[in-house]
Amino acid sequence: MNSTTNIRGNLKSELAKNVSLFSMLVPGFILAFLFSYLPMFGIVIAFKKYQIGKSIWEMPWTGLKNFEFLFTSSNTPIFIRNTILYNLVFIFVGLVLNVGLAIMLSEIREKIISKTYQTIILMPHFLSYVIISYIVLAFLNVEHGYINTHIMPLFGKEAVNWYANPKPWPFILILVHFWKSIGYNSIVYLAAIAGIDTELYEAAEIDGANKWQKITNITIPSLKTLMIIMTILAVGKIFSADFGLFYQTTMDSGALYPTTLVINTYTYNMLGQGGATGIGLASAASFFQSVMGFILVLTTNYIVNKIDSESAMF
Amino acid sequence: MAKVKKISISYILLHICMLILTLICLLPVILVISISFTTESGIVNNGYTFFPSEFGLEAYKYIATAKDTIIDAYKITIFTTIVGTIITTLTVSLYAYPLSRKDFKYRKFFTFYQFFTMLFSGGLVAWYMVCTTVLHLSNSVWALILPMANNAWYIMIMRTFFSTSVPDAIIESGKLDGASEYRILFQLVLPISLPGIATIALFATLAYWNDWYHPLMFVTEPKLYTLQFLLQNMIAKIQQLSENQTYIDNSGALLSNIPSEGARMALCMVALGPILVVYPFFQKYFIQGLTVGSIKG
């Protein structure tokens, strides 16, 4: 008698406990369903003919038509090339810059000064790309911009209409990208350097190693795995571009597209154009990006898993 | 043997390099600040300079006596930032807590449910279609809040915080006292997880304050413009005008609606200022979140 009520009581409390734990999951579960899972099903729009006023499920199927249009469009090779080339520069130049900066920061002995440097270098990360587009405009404004009013005359050159001239933009965008991201990305390496066993350095000092030898023989080899992993993970995202960087910094100036159009800005522009053609092209491009991204992330994670299973994402 | 710390030439060089780098990070922002304090005639005569060529507060006066659009944008930005941060922090903490409980049977499934959203997405078009045709978020203030309120990465960070900083004994003692799960979470677990909460709240505050992407996707009604989107819209209008020179000649009225260059930069400062002021105090939590964030899913 006593034991049955006990069991019943346990069962009840177990259920009650689970009910409240389950109820905590509800808001996040619903939000993820609405904003992440519904669009995953909605990806079939790439195989449908867009019709205004109809939901994705009601539109008629159109097979691979949208993809045929996409891969015969003259813009497609341009944005694919731009997306991949910018990412390659960001990954490999970034690797050198981020590790380099992390090592420099770690060599600074004065704690407060080091913290101050870090605070300042991390600051651009907190600015939105809208603000950054204003900052870039302050330099590149045709009439009053700093470059045209102060730098060009130094070299005896005419003012340049920067937003109509695509040639210098790879350089400008790469500069802006690193200006915003270098502080943020070097922190990961700085944390790893802080974790290196100090006994290694002490032993090297006894052996008479100088600073440079300590960096090349201890610091960099210790960071090797992390460097490989960060690089592989970045390669997994090679088909996606930072929309803010390419849309806001260039002010979406059409004249710059030959060097600035990337997959995300192309998709956005086609979506904005609307109609069956625009939405068709946009949906095909965004399908291509999602699926390629998924395959690449799985592949790269598989490789990371082989190298160092501790660092793999899953 | 006393260790003598000698300052070598290379160490001085290192500091010089770092000083140059910090200048590169600061000068562009200083240029914007300087423009916002320069009078119109100063700008016309000398262009933009790193130090105001003719000091004036015209630009800020213009904003202080601003039209409704700027005031509205401020209200919307503050509203979405506060409400968004509260909803995000709550959603994330509530979801992360059961995942951190080793006695919760289904935590693997629910972790994966969130984690998968980081691996695969429906892409821009499907997302946009769902938000506009299924959820009808166009021109709704919720379009600026809800799409950002659930974030798998924040959940992973928070779960790690809970499972590393909250001892099981505390939860056990709560249970022995007969406290409900919600009471255990809010009165025992959250108070000792404040650094984690601060990290998530900081991430969320910045994301909402800096958001221009969701207004760009969903908002056409000027009443719902955020500060960032108002700024972006202004620059886009000017860009349109300069791309179409003939348009400029017969649209004097349109041009006069756009604030002067100094006022634009002042508005930029108004959107940027709060971050610059608050940021140094919260940087600690930010770095903490970053280093915890690199964990297994």
Q: What is the ipTM, given to two decimal places?
A: 0.88
Asked if A146's CB is within 8 angstroms of B48's CB, the reply is yes
Q: Are A29 and B114 in contact (CB under 8 A)?
A: no
The model's pLDDT over B156-205, given as tens digits with 9 standing for 90+, comes to 989 988 988 888 888 999 989 888 889 999 999 999 888 889 889 988 99
Show residues of chain B in contact with A13, CB under 8 Å.
Answer: none
Show residues of chain B in contact with A282, CB under 8 Å.
Answer: 124-125
Question: What is the structure's pLDDT at B40?
Answer: 85
Sequence-ordered alpha helix ranges (H) in chain B: 9-36, 40-46, 58-64, 68-100, 107-119, 123-129, 146-149, 152-165, 168-176, 181-183, 190-192, 194-209, 213-218, 227-243, 245-249, 252-257, 261-293
Q: How near does any CA of chain B get to the CA of A1, in Å?
A: 24
Q: Are B149 and A31 in contact (CB under 8 A)?
A: yes
| Least confident segment among A298-307, B143-152, B279-288 | B279-288
Proportion of chain A in helix, strand, coil states, percent, rounded to 5: 80, 0, 20
- Does residue B210 or residue B255 have the better pLDDT? B210
Asked if B150's CB is within 8 angstroms of A31's CB, the reply is yes
| Least confident segment among A14-23, B42-51, B254-263 | B254-263
Highest mean pLDDT among A187-191, A209-213, B90-94: B90-94
Question: What is the structure's pLDDT at B6?
Answer: 65
The predicted model scores a pTM of: 0.89
Q: How near does any CA of chain B get to the CA of A63, in Å?
A: 17
Question: What is the structure's pLDDT at A95?
Answer: 95
How confident is residue B71, by pLDDT bands cut at 50, 70 and 90?
confident
| Least confident segment among A149-153, A227-231, A307-311 | A307-311
CATH 3.90.1150.10 fits B62-293, yes or no: no
How confident is residue B68, by pLDDT bands cut at 50, 70 and 90?
confident
Mean pLDDT computed over A118-146: 92
Q: How near does any CA of chain B get to the CA of A283, in Å?
A: 5
Q: How near does any CA of chain A get to the CA of B65, in Å?
A: 22
Question: What is the structure's pLDDT at B1?
Answer: 41
Asked if A251's CB is within 8 angstroms of B28's CB, the reply is no
Question: What is the structure's pLDDT at B75?
Answer: 92
Show residues of chain B in contact with A283, CB under 8 Å.
Answer: 123, 125-126
Show residues of chain A in contact with B10, CB under 8 Å.
Answer: 211
> Per-residue DSSP letters for A149-201?
IIIHHHTT-----GGG--TTHHHHHHHHHHHHHHHHHHHHHHHHHHTS-HHHH
Q: For residue A208, how far is the Cα from the chain centroid?
A: 42
Closest residue in A to B282 (Cα–Cα)? A119
Show residues of chain A in contact with B126, CB under 8 Å.
Answer: 39-43, 45, 56, 283, 286
How confident is residue A283, by pLDDT bands cut at 50, 70 and 90?
very high
Average pLDDT, chain B: 86
Superfamily of domain A65-307: MetI-like (1.10.3720.10)
Q: How near does any CA of chain A get to the CA of B281, in Å?
A: 10
Question: What is the structure's pLDDT at B247?
Answer: 47
Burial (CB count within 10 angstroms: exposed 0-12, middle 13-18, buried 19+), residue A276: middle
Question: What is the structure's pLDDT at B253?
Answer: 47
Show residues of chain A in contact with B113, CB under 8 Å.
Answer: 29, 32
Identify the three-state secondary structure at position B190.
Answer: helix
| Least confident segment among A27-36, A115-124, B286-295 | B286-295
